[in-house]
């Protein structure tokens, strides 16, 4: 496992020697996945709803959703464990129950929950990897959909069943669908890490290709760089 730190940047050549490569969904070569057949009803009333998702390093998941139209802010953080262990150094040990997660604040009149999941599975992760994504391994990097209500649970479970029936991936989807208990924002230096550190080799190799793929596969959904959240450090 590569321990990521803003104060310690592993040289690009060293990462390449280690065999680190961008983690992309294994269905990527065939393009975007189909839209969910079960989704939230379309609304014309603007407001804000929240989705909490986990799938590997939160830097890349945050970057993807910050570039989705209809998403107003994204917060990197932790979910699945307790408040007293929601700190990077402890979560990185892999025994807190937390997963590195993102809290996505979106307008359902602009983008649906199901569409967010379509992006999640098409671009943001490989849902067939158990307790890892790319170079990162451990339960803190597991893929999870933390549902906030029965509708989110129904949409998420139905979409996984839909993708499974369609054999969209060559291996079983291991993404968990579990109730959201709490979300804890990560330390301030983790927020906007993609845009703040575009030259970081980890970002270049693992996360920039995801944002590029979002733009390629979902051009109508793509929005250019912008920072969409400010949070206080833990």
Residues with catalytic function: 57
Q: How far apart, in whole angstroms, are the C-alpha atoms of residue 37 and residue 54?
A: 22
Q: What is the CA radius of gyration of the chain?
A: 16
User: How crowded is residue 64: how many other Cβ atoms within 10 Å of its Cβ?
Assistant: 27
Alpha helices, DSSP H, located in 10-108: 12-17, 58-66, 88-91
Taking the mean position of all CA atoms in its chain, how far away is CA 194?
Answer: 13
Q: Hey, is 184 helix, strand or coil?
A: strand
Q: How far apart, in whole angstroms, are the C-alpha atoms of residue 129 and residue 35? A: 22
């Amino acid at each position: 496992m590569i321990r990521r730190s803003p104060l310690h940047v592993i040289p690009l050549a060293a990462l390449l020697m280690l065999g680190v490569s961008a983690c992309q969904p294994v269905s990527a070569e065939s393009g975007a996945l189909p839209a969910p057949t079960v989704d939230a009803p379309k609304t014309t009333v603007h407001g804000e709803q929240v989705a909490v998702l986990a799938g590997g390093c939160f830097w890349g998941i945050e970057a993807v959703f910050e570039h989705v139209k209809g998403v107003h802010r994204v917060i990197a953080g932790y979910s699945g464990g307790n408040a007293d262990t929601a700190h990077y150094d402890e979560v990185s040990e892999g025994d807190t129950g937390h997963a590195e997660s993102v809290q996505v604040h979106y307008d359902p009149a602009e983008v649906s929950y199901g569409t967010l999941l379509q992006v999640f599975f098409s671009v943001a992760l490989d849902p067939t990897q158990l307790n890892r994504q790319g170079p990162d391994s451990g339960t803190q990097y597991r893929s999870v959909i933390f549902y906030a209500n029965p509708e989110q649970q129904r949409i998420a479970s139905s979409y996984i069943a839909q993708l499974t029936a369609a054999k969209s991936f060559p291996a079983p989807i291991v993404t968990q669908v579990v109730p959201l208990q709490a979300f804890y924002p990560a330390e301030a230096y983790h927020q906007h890490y993609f845009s703040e550190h575009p030259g970081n080799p980890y970002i270049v190799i693992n996360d920039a290709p995801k944002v590029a793929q979002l733009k390629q596969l979902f051009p109508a959904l793509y929005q250019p760089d912008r920072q969409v959240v400010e949070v206080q450090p833990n």
